[in-house]
Chain A
Amino acid sequence: MLAFAVRRILISIPILLLASFIVFALGVSSGNPLAPLLEKNPPAPPNVIAAETVRLHLDQPLIPRYFSWLAGLFHGDFGPSVVSTMNIGHELGARFWVTIRLIALAMVIALVLAVVVGVLSAVKQYTVTDYTTTFLGFLFLAMPSFWLAILLKQGGIEFNKAVDAQVIYTIGATSIPPPPGTGAQIVDVLGHMVLPTIALALISYASWSRFTRASMLEVMNSDYVRLARSKGLSRRTVMVKHALRTALIPLTTVTALDIASIIGGAVVTETVFQWKGMGDFLLTAIRTEDVYAASSWLLLTGVIVVMFNLIADLLYGVLDPRIRYA
Chain B
Amino acid sequence: MRRTRAASLAATVAAAALVLAACGGGGGGGSQDASEGGVFADCATSPNTCNSAPADQLQQGGTVTVASEKNIDNWNVISSEGNVDWTGMATKPLVPYTFYTAPDLKSTMNTDLLASADVTSDSPFTVTYKIKPEAVWNDGTPIAADDFVLNWKWQNGRDCPECETAGNGGYDLVTSLVGSDGGKTVTATFSKPYTDWQSLFGSSAPLYPAHIGAKQGDLNTPAGVKAAFDYFGSTPPNWSGGPFQVQNWQNNVALTLVPNPKWYGATKPKLDQLVFRIITDATQEPLALQNNEVQVLFPQPQVDLVSQLQQIPNVSQFQNQGLTWEHFDFNLQNKFLADKALRQALFTAVNRQEIIDKTVGQFNKDIKPLNNHMFIPQQDGYQDNIAATGQGSGDVEKAKKILTDAGYTGVGTALVAPDGQPVPALRMRYTTGNAVRQNECELFAGYAKQLGVNIDISTTDSLGDTTSSGDYDVIVFGWIQSPYPFNGAQQLWLSNSGSNYGKYQNPAMDQLINEAAASTDPADATAKLNQADEMLSADAYVLPLYQKPTLAAVQNNIGNVRNNSSLDGISYNTSEWGIKTSS
Contacts and interface: CB of A to CB of B under 8 A. Distances in A.
Q: Do A and B come from one complex?
A: yes
Interface of A: 30-32, 34-45, 47-48, 51-52, 83-86, 91, 126-128, 131-132, 135-136, 139, 150-151, 153-158, 160, 166, 168-173, 175-177, 271-274, 276, 280, 284
Contacts of A168: 291
Given A85-B234, A139-B15, A284 B280 contact: yes
The interface centre, meaning the residue of A31, A84, A86, A170 with most chain B CB atoms within 10 A of its CB, is A84
A40 B83 contact: yes
Contacts of B4: 126-128, 131
A169 B288 CA distance: 8
Given A85-B74, A126-B4, A276-B253, A157 B26 contact: yes
B18 to A, nearest CB: 9
Contacts of B22: 151, 154-155
B12 interface: yes
A157 B291 contact: yes
A131 B10 CA distance: 11
Given A169-B291, A171-B279, A274-B279, A177 B284 contact: no
A272 B284 contact: yes
A35 B464 contact: yes
Given A85-B73, A166-B292, A135 B480 contact: no
Contact of A131 (B11, B252, B480, B499): B11
Given A40-B167, A48-B164, A84-B81, A31 B462 contact: yes
In the complex, the 6 A-B pairs of residues with the closest C-beta atoms, listed nearest first: A38-B464, A39-B464, A128-B7, A131-B8, A35-B462, A35-B464
Interface in B259-289: 273, 275, 277-281, 284, 287-288
Contacts of A170: 284, 287-288, 291, 293
B133 interface: no
A171 B277 contact: yes
Contacts of B234: 85
A47 B161 contact: yes
Given A128-B7, A154-B22, A38 B63 contact: no
The interface centre, meaning the residue of A41, A156, A173, A271 with most chain B CB atoms within 10 A of its CB, is A41
A52 B166 CA distance: 13
Contacts of B294: 171
B463 A43 contact: no
Interface in B201-246: 233-234
B494 to A, nearest CB: 12
Contacts of A151: 19, 22-23
Contacts of A38: 462, 464-465, 467-468
Interface string B245-256: 000101111101
B284 A276 contact: no
Interface in B43-87: 63, 65, 71, 73-74, 80-81, 83
B25 interface: yes
Contacts, number: 172
Contacts of B461: 30-31, 35
A177 B7 contact: no
Contacts of A280: 252, 280
A132 B293 CA distance: 36
Contacts of B488: 42
B125 to A, nearest CB: 21
B498 interface: yes
A30 B462 CA distance: 10
Given A39-B464, A157-B26, 6 more contacts: A38-B462, A44-B166, A45-B164, A85-B81, A86-B73, A91-B251
Given A44-B80, A136-B15, A274 B491 contact: no
B67 to A, nearest CB: 8
Interface of B: 3-4, 7-8, 11-12, 15, 19, 22-23, 25-26, 63, 65, 71, 73-74, 80-81, 83, 161-162, 164-169, 233-234, 248, 250-254, 256, 273, 275, 277-281, 284, 287-288, 290-294, 461-465, 467-468, 479-480, 482, 488, 491-492, 498-499
A175 B291 CA distance: 12
B8 A132 contact: yes
Contacts of A131: 4, 7-8, 11
A150 B291 CA distance: 13
Contacts of B80: 37, 40, 44-45, 48
A85 B165 contact: no
Contact of A135 (B12, B74, B251, B492): B12
A35 B480 CA distance: 17
Contacts of B467: 38-39
26 contacts: A34-B464, A35-B461, A35-B465, A38-B462, A38-B468, A39-B467, A40-B166, A41-B491, A42-B488, A48-B165, A51-B164, A85-B74, A85-B234, A128-B11, A131-B8, A135-B15, A139-B15, A156-B291, A171-B279, A172-B277, A177-B273, A273-B284, A274-B280, A280-B252, A280-B280, A284-B280
Nearest to B5: A131
A7 to B, nearest CB: 40
Contact of B275 (A32, A37, A158, A176): A176
Contact of B25 (A135, A157, A271, A276): A157
A32 B480 CA distance: 22
Contacts of A136: 15
B291 A43 contact: no
